[in-house]
Amino acid sequence: MQELTFETILRLPQMELKRTLKAELKSRGYPVTDKPGYLYAEGAIPVMLVAHMDTVHRQPVEQICYSADGTVAMSPQGIGGDDRCGVWMILQILHTANCHVLFCEDEEIGCIGAKKFTGGPLQPQVNYIVELDRRGSNDAVFYRCDNPEFEDFVTSFGFETAEGSCSDISYIAPYLETAAVNISCGYYFEHQRHEYICLEEMELNAARVAQMVTQQTEHFEYRERQDGFFGGRAYQYSMWDTAFERETYKWLSPLPKEAKIKLGTAELIMPHAKIDRQGKVHRYVPKLKAAILTENAIAVMPDGKKAGYDSQEAKCQKVMPLSRALEILGCK
């Protein structure tokens, strides 16, 4: 069987990619469990690698453009590095490390595949989990997992602790009671047409993770972080969309009084919360006379339905990046 190329991974729709990955894993001798929402393959090394198969882009990738030196890839349709980079990286790591593998569906619309996995019968016994689904070049994101020994182990390979909001491991790690980390994959400006992939960073991090997973370790347990969402500056970043980088203006409406804001399974207290026409949650900061866009936070009514946008109550208001808000407020 011919090796699955990165360009092919970028071009395939989610369900076709799932079928292709199933065949690829079987060709490598893996026993594969194919269930609605995910593919799981049991390995010999007690580490599970995780990536998701969907992207936010509606159009399939047709044209792939490269920089003059061949190190950067983009597409007019949106390249979909989030998270096709992670899929490719896992396949590269498997050449030298027979890890457990979990490919999830529909992460971008609420970690649907990960939730189906945690609702199923599979409970692989692994020492830790590595997700490959993070922007940038050197981040290690632990979300609510608070295991200092595991963080020290991961950062010993040169990665730097960063903050994030939610991804598939936010559900998988507590389910398996096992520590997890999300590692940078070399893509930038995810969820946008001008997203690009730094191929050298993607390849380098695949090699670094391959080195990591071959080191013998004990089991790293999942320990839930106990501080609040607003308990410290570093964790405060975890709910904000740090990829949003320019000031703009949006029509925002106040939330109904009975609405609640949730991030994953946690319920947030957010004064002056507002939503836009797409239902995205913003926190309005009176001192700034501007709102800050959140990431993955949702506003729901007591019946569980999403809170609605009220066009009659909406006002056109400034929306600024978190970095700019912190600068004005004197935070560093």
pLDDT in tens, 195-240: 999 999 999 999 999 999 999 999 999 998 865 433 333 344 356 6
- Strand intervals (E) in 15-89: 32-35, 38-41, 45-52, 65-66, 72-74
Per-residue pLDDT of 124-147, as tens digits, reads 999 999 999 999 999 999 999 999
How far is it, in rounded angstroms, from Cα 99 to Cα 95? 10
260-263 and 266-268 beta bridge pairing: antiparallel
Choose the CATH number for 6-213 among 3.40.50.300, 1.10.530.10, 2.60.120.10, 3.40.630.10.
Answer: 3.40.630.10
Residues 273-303 as b/e (b if ≥16 CB within 10 A, e otherwise) read bbbbeeebbbbbbeeeebbbbbbbbbbeeee
User: What is the percentage of the chain residues whose pLDDT exceeds 70?
Assistant: 92
Q: Kind and range of the H or E element at 181?
A: strand 180-184
Q: By three-state DSSP, how is residue 24 classified?
A: helix
- Pairwise pLDDT comparison (322 vs 62), residue with the higher score: 62
How far is it, in rounded angstroms, from Cα 52 to Cα 39? 10
The number of residues in the chain equals 332
The runs of H, that is alpha helices, within 166-198 are: 169-176
- Asked if residue 83 has a cis previous peptide bond (ω within 30° of 0), the answer is yes
Closest alpha carbon to 172 in 298, 86, 49: 49
Look at residue 240 in the predicted model and tell me its pLDDT: 64
Per-residue pLDDT of 281-292, as tens digits, reads 999 999 899 999
Residue 263 CA, chain-centre distance (Å), reads 13
Q: Give the DSSP letter of residue 237.
A: G
Give 109-113 contacts, CB < 8 A, sequence gap 24+.
Answer: 109/54, 111/166, 111/167, 111/168, 111/170, 111/171, 112/37, 113/37, 113/38, 113/52, 113/53, 113/168
Per-residue pLDDT at 177 exceeds 80: yes
DSSP codes, 69-101: TS-EEE-TT---HHHHHHHHHHHHHTTT--EEE
Asked if residues 161 and 146 have their Cβ atoms less than 8 Å apart, the reply is no
pTM beyond 0.75: no
- Pairwise pLDDT comparison (238 vs 59), residue with the higher score: 59
For the chain, domain boundaries? 6-213, 233-329
Look at residue 321 in the predicted model and tell me its pLDDT: 83
User: 330 pLDDT band (50/70/90 cuts)?
Assistant: low
Mean pLDDT (the chain) is 90
Look at residue 28 in the predicted model and tell me its pLDDT: 95
Look at residue 246 in the predicted model and tell me its pLDDT: 73
Per-residue pLDDT of 244-292, as tens digits, reads 667 888 899 999 889 999 877 677 878 889 999 888 899 999 989 999 9
